[in-house]
């Protein structure tokens, strides 16, 4: 009971979602100001240009393959080849954009490529770009993501699983979403590529705490690959 009480106190204080900003010296502040008006605009423009090129490739893939075929995985040899090209383009364009922004990604450990589902903590929207640059996976995402300009087109091409989003952590709170995840996991037993990224916490945190896991990734008993994201 004491442990439960402690967890409730931590959650009420919002500790998992706090991002304290450490104090900065005058020199550090000056560097930030100079960077904001010189290198930063160039990096943002270059990154946007690199990643935006993926949009046109995704539009072509959606037109020639069809959104329903992408979701069902029922692809012709031509569709598979075009999807492979689209994923190749997205992965390399994203990697280029991340490098321009100054990100250096280090992978520790070995991923089991036979396991299709990957469960990870979620610290930032940058997590998505990092995974896209590593192996262009599918994601479990809110249904509203599909209608976001640019992002929705890329998400459909990546064969994301779109679900409703509810705060209730009950396993039956989103039955259709759970069923979609189970169907995808079953399909990945014979073909684990592309992998499916699931953020079981359902939201971002500061990485210092674990919050309630949604059970959709686990109730089918299929193997999952745990991943921990850290930023330094």
Domain boundaries defined on the chain: 24-227
pTM (two decimals): 0.79
pLDDT tens across the length of the chain (232 residues) = 444 555 555 555 567 777 777 787 888 888 888 888 888 888 888 888 888 889 999 999 999 999 888 888 888 999 999 999 999 999 999 999 888 888 888 888 888 888 889 999 998 889 999 999 988 999 998 889 999 999 999 999 999 998 875 544 444 444 577 888 888 888 888 887 789 999 998 888 887 877 888 888 898 889 999 999 888 8
Strand partners, 226: 119
Residue 139 and residue 136: Cα distance in Å, rounded?
9
- Structure confidence at residue 168 (pLDDT): 43
Residue 138 and residue 156: Cα distance in Å, rounded?
9
- Structure confidence at residue 65 (pLDDT): 93
- Structure confidence at residue 62 (pLDDT): 93
**How big is the chain, counted in residues?**
232
- Structure confidence at residue 232 (pLDDT): 82
Residue 102 and residue 57: Cα distance in Å, rounded?
25
Burial 11-49 (b: 16+ CB within 10 A, else e): eeeeebeeeeeeeeeeeeeeeeeeeeeeeeeeeeeebee
Which has the closest alpha carbon to 61: 51, 71, 50? 71
Burial 199-210 (b: 16+ CB within 10 A, else e): bbbbebbebeee
Burial 130-164 (b: 16+ CB within 10 A, else e): bbbbbebbbbbbeeebeeeeeebbbbbbbbbbbbe
Mode of pairing for the β-strands spanning 138-142 and 161-163: parallel
Sign of CA dihedral 190, 180, 86, 117: negative
Residue 22 and residue 187: Cα distance in Å, rounded?
46
- Structure confidence at residue 6 (pLDDT): 55
Residue 173 and residue 215: Cα distance in Å, rounded?
10
């Amino acid at each position: 009971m004491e442990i439960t009480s402690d967890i409730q106190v931590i959650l009420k204080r919002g500790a998992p979602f706090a991002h304290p900003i450490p104090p900065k010296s005058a020199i550090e502040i000056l560097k930030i100001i100079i960077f904001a008006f010189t290198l930063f605009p160039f990096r943002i423009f270059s990154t946007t240009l690199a990643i935006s090129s993926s949009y046109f490739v995704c539009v072509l893939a959606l037109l020639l393959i069809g959104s329903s075929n992408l979701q069902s995985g029922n692809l012709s040899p031509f569709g598979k080849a075009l999807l492979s090209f689209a994923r190749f383009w997205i992965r390399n364009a994203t990697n280029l954009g991340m490098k321009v922004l100054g990100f250096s990604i280090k992978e520790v450990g070995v991923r089991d490529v036979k396991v299709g589902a990957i469960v990870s903590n979620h610290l930032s929207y940058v997590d998505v770009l990092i995974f896209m640059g590593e192996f262009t996976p599918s994601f479990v995402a809110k249904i509203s993501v599909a209608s976001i300009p640019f992002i929705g087109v890329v998400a459909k091409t990546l064969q994301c699983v779109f679900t409703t989003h509810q705060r209730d952590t009950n396993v039956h709170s989103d039955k259709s979403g759970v069923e979609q995840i189970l169907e995808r996991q079953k399909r990945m037993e014979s073909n684990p590529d592309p992998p499916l990224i699931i953020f079981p916490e359902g939201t971002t945190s500061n990485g210092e705490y674990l919050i309630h896991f949604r059970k959709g990734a686990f109730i089918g008993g299929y193997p999952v690959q745990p991943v921990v994201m850290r930023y330094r």
